[in-house]
Amino acid sequence: MLPALSQVCTLQASFSRDIEDFAAGQCHAVDVWLTKLEDYLQRGRSVSDVRKLLLEHEVAAPVASYQGGLFGSNESGQEAWRLFGERLVLCGELEIKTLVVACDILAPICQADVDGANELLLRAATAAAKHGVRIALEFRADAALGNNLQTAAALVREVGHANLGMCLDVFHYYVGPSKQEDLAYLNASNLFHVQLCDLADTPREFARDADRILPGDGDIVFEPIIDRLREIDYRGCVSIELMNPQIWQVPPRQFGEIGMTALRKVLGLASMA
């Protein structure tokens, strides 16, 4: 498993500061927050500059988050697919191998929506493959379809494309209808990315992204999840992803240090340098 930090954890900091300060905090892999990367490029920087920055600080960028809206209709859906195409090119150029796509399918739904979801996922995976990118479908607790691990695994299996797998976001796993036995649906072929966080003293029905805290500081029991990752010999990226405005106030270097310490402890890698 490759420990990493998501750049959304330090949302107010720049892309370059994240890389510099995370590296100083002994973080050597990032879950790229796409809007932050795009802002960096829009400020006169080039893809070559990004490559140099990552190389200089010995930081890998194996995964990027996230693309939403692909299941939308009309103009919103068209715009999402246009942006998706641009992001596939960018990920390909930077050798970011995995792109997280939100399963943000809204109610109401019918069987036609299920069939349509399969077609859209096949379209996304086929487009991604042309750029050497894999799609990690993130099931979301608030979705009308694909709000749990079992259904997400079924969608991936039905599409049957080598470049389509799953993102296990522990927040959505914990607050949604997923069950511990659903972890059995994870295997080395269909799990492309893992994102961790924790929750404390928050009823699951009322939990929001802003309630996310460092893994190990709350109520989520991680042992069954980590045990399953070891069982399937998962060798992908495991990142901390927090959208907590209070944590955004923490300087990136400090967050890099405390974040990596928390992550290594949860993963059983506390002795890592």
Three-state helix/strand/coil letters over 216-263: CCCCCCCHHHHHHHHHCCCCCEEEECCCCCCHHHCCHHHHHHHHHHHH
Rounded Cα–Cα distance for residues 188 and 231 (Å):
9
How is residue 130 annotated by DSSP? Answer: T
Walk along the chain (273 residues) and give the pLDDT tens digit of each residue. Answer: 999 999 999 999 999 999 999 999 889 999 999 999 999 999 999 999 999 999 999 999 999 999 999 998 778 889 999 999 999 999 999 999 999 999 999 887 777 777 889 999 999 999 999 999 999 999 999 999 999 999 999 999 999 999 999 999 999 999 999 999 999 999 999 999 999 999 999 899 999 999 999 999 999 999 999 999 999 999 999 999 999 999 999 999 999 999 999 999 999 875 444
pLDDT at residue 270, as a whole number? 56
CA angle 203, 209, 212 (to 5 degrees): 75
The residue type of 160 is: G
Residues 6+ apart with CB under 8 A from 170: 194, 195, 196, 197, 215, 220, 222, 225
pLDDT of 115: 81
Domain extent listing, the chain: 2-267
pTM of the model: 0.94
- According to the model, what pLDDT value does residue 271 have? 45
Sign, CA dihedral 192-27-95-81, equals positive
Alpha-carbon span 2 to 238, nearest angstrom? 6
| Residue range 2-267 in CATH 3.20.20.150 | yes
